[in-house]
Structures are given as C-alpha cells and as structure tokens.
Amino acid sequence: MVQFPLGYFFISLEGLVLGHGFIGIPNGFELYLISILVVSAFIIIVIGTPLYFTLKHYKLNTSLYITISGLIIPILIMTFIDFGITSYKGYSAGENYYGTYRDTFIDGQRTFWGWVKVLESMVTYGIHGVLGAIIFHKIYLKGNNA
C-alpha cells in the first residue's frame, strides 16, 4: 500500500524541510500505521470503488477523471470534518511549525497559520488520494488486459 511510505514521508516533512532528515520511529507508530490502513481501506471500499465503477459505467474511468476523483474525495472528507461537524468555539492552539511556534487558533478563530495548516493538510491528503486512485486504476486496467 502506497499510503504507508507516503504517510511516513509526510510526518517527516518538517524534519526534511529543516534539514534534519526523516524522523525516527516514534512511540505509537504501529497505531498510526494501523489507522492509515483502516481509514484508507474504508474510503477505498465505501467511496472509491463504487465511484470507480460508476465512472466506468459511464465510460469516464480515464486517468484524468480518476485523478480528479482521487484529489476531491479526501478534500471533501476533510472539509466536512473540519467545517461541518467540528466546533472550535473558545478553542486556542498553536504548534511548532517548521521550526517556529505559530498560533493556529485564538479563541475559536483560525489564524493565518491555521489556514496554512488546513491548506497543507488538504494538499497532503489530496496527494494520498491521487496516488491511491491512480495505482488502483492502473492495477485494475492491468488485470483486465492480462
């Protein structure tokens, strides 16, 4: 599954940008890998596969449409979770962001750096979706041509 190495790359991204290299295996990493497996399998089975065969039914299962679908699905899920069902009323937070502490929320309001984090996570999960969708598509096509 491409999600394991890609997940490891993205959790190491800050260290890579700062020149520290990949992170060591942190405590609880096994739980992280299992959660990647469970979440990606759920999305593939419940959303991705039915969408793929719907696109195939309408003869739209081209690489372009599969790539767009792989990008949009995780972004829609993240948007629904972040803006639809989560309340940040009274919440304040910050984090070490690429070597500098940044406030991400102040009293329930997302700061500039909070919006940067949202955009970064949507790009990250969008890349996961695109790669997963393309690999699924190529394997499916290879199976049909075998």
| Integer Cα distance of 96 and 80 in angstroms | 26
pLDDT number for residue 146: 47
CA distances from 81 to 84, 85, 118, 121 (A): 6, 5, 12, 12
**Residue of 107, 69, 93 whose CA lies nearest to 61:** 69
Question: Which pLDDT belongs to residue 44?
Answer: 87
Q: What percent of the chain has pLDDT over 70?
A: 82
> Which single residue is written with the structure tokens 């942190």?
26
Task: Give bridge partners of residue 94 from the DSSP assignment.
Answer: 103
Query: Over pLDDT 90: what percentage of the chain?
Result: 41
Residue type at 70 in one-letter notation: G
If one counts every other C-beta atom within 10 angstroms of the C-beta of residue 12, the result is 15
- The residue that leads in pLDDT, 43 or 15, is 43
Q: How many domains does the chain have?
A: 1
Range of the domain at 54: 3-145
By the 8 A CB rule, do 7 and 32 touch?
Answer: yes
Could you read off the pLDDT of 107-134 as tens digits, one per residue? 989 999 999 999 988 998 898 889 889 9
pLDDT tens digits along 96-107: 887 789 999 999
Instruction: Report CA 83 to chain centroid distance, whole Å.
Output: 16
Residue where the block lists tokens 């599969």? 66
What separation, in Å, do the N-terminal and C-terminal C-alpha atoms of the chain show? 21
